[in-house]
Amino acid sequence: MLKIIIMSILFSGICQANGLESSTIRKHLAAKMPMMKKCYKDELDKTNRKFKFNSVLNFNINNSGRVEDINIDIKDNADNKYVQATSACLKLALEETIFPKFKGKGKVKVNQTMRFETMLR
C-alpha cells in the first residue's frame, strides 16, 4: 500500500484577507493526491527496492489562482534518481493545479511538508 503522509502545511501571505482560505488550499491539494501517489508509484515500479523520502513543496498562488515559483526541497535521499524523478513529477502535478481566483495583487505562499513511503499491510 502506498501512503503519502502530509506532515504539515504552512500558509503565509494574504490567505484569509483575500478570500482564499487555507481549507480551500487543502481541498485542492487533496484532489491532487492520486496524481502525487502515481508519481511515487511509477518510480517504485522502476526499481526493485523501496525508497522513502521527506519533502517540502514550496510554491506561490497568484491572484488568478495559478501556481508559480515551485520549489521542491527533498530532505533525504536527494541523490536517489527515483526520488528526483518523483520530485519532477510532483512539480508537474502542482503546475496543473488551479486554485480559485482571489482579490488583490499579492500571492499566497504555501509550504507543505510531505512524506512518501510504502506501507505493508
- Residue 119 pLDDT grade (very low, low, confident, very high; cuts 50, 70, 90): low
Spell out the domain ranges in the chain: 2-118
> So what's the pLDDT on residue 121?
44
Tell the residue number behind the cell numbers 536517489, with chain if given. 80
**Mean pLDDT, residues 26-44 taken together:** 87
> So what's the pLDDT on residue 98?
93
Question: Buried b / exposed e across 50-68, counting CB within 10 Å, b at 16+?
Answer: ebbbbbbbbbbbbbeeebe
> So what's the pLDDT on residue 19?
60
Burial class (CB in 10 A: 0-12, 13-18, 19+), 20: buried
**pLDDT tens digits along 96-108:** 999 998 887 778 8
Q: Which residue has the higher pLDDT, 88 or 121?
A: 88
- Residue 95 pLDDT grade (very low, low, confident, very high; cuts 50, 70, 90): very high
Distances (CA, A) of 39 to 13, 29, 44, 79, 88: 29, 14, 9, 17, 9
Length in residues, the chain:
121
